[in-house]
Structure 1
């Protein structure tokens, strides 16, 4: 379990952020006794957090159609161990299926018509699944760091990481161990790689081909230190018994940092990929692929042999996309710029960019004026980026033409973050005396991109 050692500032942050977390709702899935499969599902870039589960009957209305009154009258009927069963199958996954035969192993109330009801919430998250022997790579964009909800090493279904494996290596689906090494190594970092192997996590089920599951979010680098007292340890049952308060606090903090995860896919034969956020948001590129990682994306009308190679990727694409799009409101990438060289001839490829839109303020202050950064009640400044110089001709151009022509004068600076992070208001002069002079004779300006987070 995530064991909280919460102090007053963390609780205050959680309370503050709950006002901002209106996008988190409890959802309910119900399957009647004679059903075959119980299914839970969240949208892309979300994972399941199971809040409660019941197999039995708690009212006389649910699954009552066509049933006589004597099968509905016992509303105090429940099967022991159902919550743990559902969590083992579904916790921190995007979707899951539970065979009702696994639920009906005993009858808690003979003669009563029962149902399985699960209440759950969908948490915004990045889900990383890495087959045994490969390396998981967790990454966050500029100004944000990793916060791991949970991680498991083992196997809890027969489909994941099953290609080319004999049945004997995938049939044990009750093999799940907490992987506390992941948050210990990765929390608070921009990038983290960790091998999915027995040497790192131990072997929870000898002879079974395992995989590593990680659910995490990217949050402001200031926020994660509020959770530095969290750790993952204990038994599998304890690990699966996530605290609603703690998960909501984490997701509230995530939402308070103004992050919404998105994916853009452009097929090989298209001309331009356009990445765009709403007004008062900026792009932070999380990952990018030019190649093919599955057989479904951009597959319509394509022969099988053009979709077969799912291990195809062009090197350097992430840095290429970041250079063009990072911390902009909108950017365009020409597909002709990413097609060469061809990473896998004969495979029909696509460009997939995973990015988040950071709710951000952009403050531009002309040379010798004062930048004034400010946040609302209960919030403080967190600077994502700042530079002093010039990269546009039509900004702060109230000067002779020659003083605004040099647009290759960009000097990134940490001074603004050092001066302003954690403050409600911050004034700082845009001057050579503060930032140095990156281009003499050019009229410069200070551009700061920042977010307001709960303090």
Structure 2
């Protein structure tokens, strides 16, 4: 079942985290300050020579094709949808995928904004939203995966098994689409994953706007959904307010985002960013300097790596001007090395970006862009730029003097203001609409949008 998520669920509110614990560490700890853990990947072994390499002989670092199977599922079962969790490294060290290699545990996860509810066995979980919003359940677990939860009045023997939680979709089937919902935490509902253990139900959910155009949910909420929506007028069901439009694109973005990181060392010529053919770049962060002693460290003396608090200002804006909302782009390192934020330190450019599914439209100056969606969908503009940021686009028949200025691009909200929420929209790429960011340069307009 699909729902349109409120802006709290925007992809910009999802934080990506990586935690690394060396083989000889005692505990691998994951935590979210806000929201719940959503495991993306987990790895135990060695994939490079730099991670957890301090004071280790080369012979323990050379095997970079070493990994233990089943770690991803194990970490998910222990940590998914929790606000924090601890993994005892002894639970990982049950077998050795590469004897003689010094290994590490690396977990990549997101923190999803969420309401987190726990109900002890024989109690009831209460899920509720404010009027006008409905429940959307990320997931739920029934059993026990922590020895500190639901312990009051219980004997130690019924708490010690912390590897008996089963994921369940019964909470989603019962509660999705309702403003409030009560779920009994009992074996009669979920079965008994571990006889003799005192269990609890753990649920993570958000409150969302229901979409009138989506199919009705399956299961026990289907009749309630139909009864609610049949009472709405067709005019209400076809109405798209700004809030609904923003909420709709939240879910669209969150369902199809891939995160990328590109690192380019100081003496390389250029950095290249690229998304697939139906995606555009959205730059999240950029650093030129040094934030650790490992990145771009090969063959470098320690004194060139020790300053890990080095960064050059203005780099994020520079990368955005070159790459934002494009399918691929090139950043010349000579444009980045205009000043030295930390003399004597060997630096690198690191760019973190996401690839957003989008329709990309490029319109040359004095021409008209036509943005189109089907009758049942409307336009939502991620963003637009007017000016010039490369010499190739819209260059046919133009003298060199009109295409050589590639630093004259300006972001604009005008396209979104005119086109959002419409099935079809036309807008002219001209100075009269957007102003002139660079007199004498032949310009173009770039737009990235989706149909929702």
Q: TM-score, normalising length from structure 2?
A: 0.48
Q: TM-score, normalising length from structure 1?
A: 0.48
